[in-house]
Amino acid sequence: MKLFDGGRAPNPRRVRIFLAEKGIAVPLVSVDMGALEHRQQAVSSRNPLRRLPVLELDDGTVVTESVAICRYFEELNPEPALFGRGALGKAQVEMWQRRMEFNLLTCVAQAFRHTHPAMKEWEIPQIPEWGEANKPKAIEFLRLLDGELGTREFAAGDAYSIADITGMIAIDFMKPARIKVPDECSNVLRWYRMVSSRPSAAA
């Protein structure tokens, strides 16, 4: 088994943090995304979308997409439960994982990819207006999240989950996207400090 990893990029980090929370060690194959190595044969032959991370099992089976990879490891190693417990708990984690991904991480990614000069050769065409349009969408969601976090400790309830991982990654990614968490989102800032202080966050 080996995991093709993209360093500080958001999606590879999601999987590494998840594995760290589980205490699972998987051999990493480092891919230099800055040098566009993810577009070369080693990755493209395993994932035609040429994206990371990519998990290759011992029998050659390939699993891509960060949440799918995390689900695979959750099934093999159910403790600690990072996708929730019971029918309702799992549904709530799924709900907030998707909300974090589609309403925050995706908006931040679009802002970064379409406005940052370093992404001109990656995002063709780069449409700065679209990038700027996504910034207020991210802020709007953070305000919604702030209200939710006023009633509980973690994104999906009383336990840390993959929804917290995705949300933390998104906020980390806001810096290069030039988006700032509003000062009045005190619950978000409290939650972010807490999840960022977990040892897994350094993975």
Query: For 22-61, what is each residue's pLDDT tens digit?
Result: 999 999 999 999 888 999 999 999 999 999 999 999 999 9
Q: Which amino acid is at 140?
A: E
Domains of the chain: 2-76 (3.40.30.10), 86-202 (1.20.1050.10)
Q: What is the pTM of this model?
A: 0.96
> Which of 186-189's residues contact partners 24+ apart within 8 Å by CB, and which partners?
186/146, 187/145, 187/146, 187/147, 187/148, 187/149, 187/150, 188/142, 188/145, 188/146, 188/149
- Find out whether 177 and 112 touch, Cβ atoms under 8 Å: yes
* Span 157-187, pLDDT tens digits: 999 999 999 999 999 999 999 999 999 999 9
Task: Provide the residue type at 134 as one letter.
Answer: N
Report the C-alpha gap between 1 and 61 in whole angstroms. 9
Tokens of 164: 């917290």
pLDDT tens by residue, 48-107: 999 999 999 999 999 999 999 999 999 999 999 999 999 999 999 999 999 999 999 999
Joined tokens for residue 157: 């309830």
